[in-house]
């Protein structure tokens, strides 16, 4: 675990040894790191403060504020937050398995049982956000859904064997997805999330008595953006491509606005009616008609009891 190519961040590197880069965004890099004192492995999101305007800085602080108030098995935990003159540092629970996005690419698509196993974990986390914390995530997508480490037996399962340069370090516990079933999936990246009601009052934020009807209505339906996204993720898991796609942004925008998608043959031919029915209730243009998280969880497709999916069968 050489850190020679890793950058040195004043205010962070004294305490954490950076191991490798795990992801990057417009203003941030995410590193796998090790607490020099305890040996604990973490993920650290390093945000380049100096590239942000004051609005964007406020948004990072809001992301931190929201994450601090969340505690759920399906949500990546923020362990601590600090800043230096040039950076913000978000120390996060390490998700070694990487993005759901990569697993889709690797496996092409998921069986219904595996898709159910994954999507139910995401749905329970969304239920917690929507119903217990009044938080709308607003950026649910495969890149922001991360897998924990998952046990696989590499030699017996060459096809599912994930590429990992650190395999000696991890022994038989390797990131990825495979023989021993799959581990937890958690929601990350609260950079666009928003609190729509305060816990204490159960009312929308702001002074309710003076709030205009369009705002109140907006807040009531704002949770539905996560349900649309959940529908897109479920669709993609089941067939390997997203429900809405076009090379031209304007055509794509038009398709989304009209809710124009199909269960394309032959890819959808063998997928259950029940799965299609559920997706239809999520990819529904009118947010008032769209399923809420509780309606989603009550749908028959979510309540099929099958054994924990094994990718090798």
**In the annotation, is 294 catalytic?**
no
Which member of 24, 35, 139, 218 is catalytic?
139
Residue 131 and residue 150 in contact, taking contact as beta carbons nearer than 8 Å: no
| CB of 188 or CB of 275, closer to ligand ADP | 188
**144 lies in the site for Mg ion, by CB under 5 A:** yes
| CB of 29 or CB of 144, closer to Mg ion | 144
Using the rule CB under 6 A, which residue among 9, 87, 88, 99 binds ligand ADP? Answer: 99
Contacts (CB under 6 A) with ligand ADP, residues 161-190: 188-189
Task: Say whether 189 counts as a known binding-site residue.
Answer: yes
- Show the site string, 44-83: x = touches ligand ADP by CB under 6 A, - = not: -x------------------------------x-------
Reduced 3-state DSSP string for 99-139: EHHHHHHHHCCCCHHHHHHHHHHHHHHHHHHHHHHCEECCC
Residue 125 and residue 186 in contact, taking contact as beta carbons nearer than 8 Å: yes
What gap in Å lies between CA 251 and CA 19, rounded to an integer?
Answer: 42
Contacts (CB under 6 A) with ligand ADP, residues 124-153: 143-144, 146
| CB of 20 or CB of 127, closer to ligand ADP | 20
**193 lies in the site for ligand ADP, by CB under 6 A:** no
Task: Say whether 143 counts as a known binding-site residue.
Answer: yes
Of 146, 153, 147, whose CA–CA distance to 173 is shortest?
153
**112 lies in the site for ligand ADP, by CB under 6 A:** no
| CB of 190 or CB of 228, closer to Mg ion | 190
Using the rule CB under 6 A, which residue among 93, 148, 164, 310 binds ligand ADP? Answer: 93
Distance of closest approach, residue 9 Cβ to ligand ADP, in angstroms: 16
Distance of closest approach, residue 226 Cβ to ligand ADP, in angstroms: 16
What letter does residue 173 receive in the DSSP assignment? E
Using the rule CB under 6 A, which residue among 7, 11, 25, 300 binds ligand ADP? Answer: 25
Percentages (nearest 5) of helix, strand, coil residues in the chain: 35, 20, 45
- 49-53: which pairs have CB atoms within 8 A and are 24 or more residues apart? 49/83, 49/85, 49/86, 49/87, 49/88, 50/86, 51/27, 52/27
Distance of closest approach, residue 194 Cβ to ligand ADP, in angstroms: 15
For the residues of 244-278, what is the DSSP string, one character each? S--SSHHHHHHHHHHT-----TTTTTTS-HHHHHH
Residue 83 and residue 61 in contact, taking contact as beta carbons nearer than 8 Å: no
| CB of 43 or CB of 122, closer to ligand ADP | 43
Of 175, 224, 187, 198, whose CA–CA distance to 71 is shortest?
187
What gap in Å lies between CA 20 and CA 115, rounded to an integer?
Answer: 30
Q: Which two tokens stand for residue 279?
A: 């997706």
- Show the site string, 99-138: x = touches Mg ion by CB under 5 A, - = not: ----------------------------------------
Catalytic residue set:
139
Which residues make up each annotated binding site for ATP?
45, 143-144, 189
Which residues make up each annotated binding site?
45, 143-144, 189
Q: Which residues bind ligand ADP (CB under 6 A)?
A: 22-23, 25, 28, 30, 43, 45, 76, 92-95, 99, 143-144, 146, 188-189, 191
């Amino acid at each position: 675990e050489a850190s020679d190519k890793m950058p040195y961040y004043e205010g962070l590197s004294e305490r954490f040894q950076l191991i490798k880069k795990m992801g990057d965004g417009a203003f941030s890099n995410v590193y796998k790191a090790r607490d020099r004192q305890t040996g604990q492995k973490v993920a650290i999101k390093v945000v380049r403060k100096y590239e942000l305007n004051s609005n964007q800085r406020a948004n990072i602080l809001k992301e931190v504020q929201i994450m601090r108030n969340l505690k759920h098995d399906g949500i990546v935990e923020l362990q601590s937050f600090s800043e230096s003159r040039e950076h913000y540092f978000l120390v996060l629970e390490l998700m070694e398995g990487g993005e759901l996005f990569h697993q889709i690419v690797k496996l092409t698509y998921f069986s219904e049982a595996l898709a159910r196993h994954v999507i139910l974990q995401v749905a329970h986390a969304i239920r917690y956000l929507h119903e217990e914390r009044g938080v709308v995530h607003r950026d649910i997508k495969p890149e922001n859904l991360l897998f924990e480490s998952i046990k696989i037996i590499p030699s017996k399962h060459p096809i599912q064997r994930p590429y990992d340069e650190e395999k000696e370090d991890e022994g038989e516990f390797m990131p990825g997805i495979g023989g021993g079933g799959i581990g937890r999936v958690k929601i990350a990246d609260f950079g666009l999330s928003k609190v729509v009601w305060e816990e204490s009052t159960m009312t929308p934020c702001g002074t309710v008595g003076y709030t205009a009807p369009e705002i109140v209505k907006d807040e009531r339906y704002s949770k539905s953006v996560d349900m649309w996204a959940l529908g897109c993720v479920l669709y993609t898991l089941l067939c390997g491509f997203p429900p809405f796609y076009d090379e031209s942004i304007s055509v794509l925008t038009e398709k989304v606005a009209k809710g124009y998608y199909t269960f394309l043959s032959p890819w959808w031919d063998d997928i259950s009616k029940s799965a299609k029915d559920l997706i239809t209730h999520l990819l529904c243009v009118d947010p008032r008609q769209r399923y809420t998280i509780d309606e989603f969880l009550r749908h028959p497709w979510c309540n099929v009891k099958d054994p924990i999916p094994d990718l090798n069968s």
